[in-house]
Amino acid sequence: MRPSRRRAGVVVLLGVLGLTLAALAFPGLLGLGQAAGGGQDRVVAGTKYGPLTEADRDFVVKVRAAGLWEYPLGELAMRRGTTPAVRTAGMHLVVGHAGLDALCRQIAPELGITLPNRASPQQEGFVATVDAREGKAFDAAAVHIMRVTHGQIFPVVAGIRATTRNTLVRRLADLANDTVLDHMTVLERTGLVGFDKVTFEQTGPGKLPAAKVTPPPPDPGERVLVLRPRPDLKLNTATPVPSPAH
């Protein structure tokens, strides 16, 4: 890694976030917890695929935003993970979010939803946090952050799937459910998940201001960023890897 790049990561970690790794993980991490609990009674558009609610719209945007930071974090894990299991987890993140991103980009115009081209400031901070570490510390930070965020989003996906009346949003929730389950499983197979700490941080009370967890809208006329598909990796993350029996 170039020294300037490392310094930039440390500046983001210490100067902007001012948080420890443990403090980075908390409910509402992806801005999705709020969508699950409310908004399904607030219809923002009528479409031929069924009513689109505030929660539905927020879900599509936040699935897109999740890929904008988890995809590059997966690429980092593929390149810099110190074990085959961490590198494999990175591959699953890249392939899974490329698939989710393709579906988000397909359904968003049909539903009149504007997609972001950048993740939220907090999410970009997650990537900088991991990027600033090396070796085993890199592995531990990447797996911990990803397992906490996936553990938080998993019940949110189920909530949207159970309540949405929009068939396109339901299709995205189906794919997200399988993809998140696959990602959780491969992260756990690294042997680096501390379940007590993960559970505590998934259910703790902390929250950041909305500006930190909201992805910025694209500039007028800005082209939609595409997360590059990786068929060369030969993975199907829409079919979750089964957890091993012990």
Q: What is the separation of C-alpha 193 from the centre of its chain, rounded to a whole number of angstroms?
A: 17
Query: Token digits for 3?
Result: 């020294």
* Token pair 């539903």 in the structure block, residue: 111
- Residue of 240 and 216 predicted with greater confidence: 216
Tell me the C-alpha distance between 3 and 65, whole Å. 28
Q: What is the pLDDT of residues 102-154, one digit of tens each?
A: 999 999 999 999 999 999 999 999 999 999 999 999 999 999 999 999 999 99
Residue 210 is predicted with a pLDDT of 86
Residue 40 is predicted with a pLDDT of 78
pTM here?
0.82
Given a cut of 90, whether residue 14 has pLDDT beyond it is no
Residue 2 is predicted with a pLDDT of 45
Q: What is the pLDDT of residues 181-223, one digit of tens each?
A: 999 999 999 999 998 999 888 877 667 888 898 999 999 999 9
Distances, alpha carbon 6 to alpha carbons 129, 140, 148, 227, 229, in Å:
10, 18, 24, 24, 28
Q: What is the pLDDT of residues 64-114, one digit of tens each?
A: 999 999 999 999 999 999 999 999 999 999 999 999 999 999 999 999 999
- DSSP letter, residue 14: I
Query: Token digits for 116?
Result: 């972001």
DSSP 28-76: TTTS-HHHHHS-TT-EEEEETTEEEEHHHHHHHHHHHHHHHHHHHHHHH
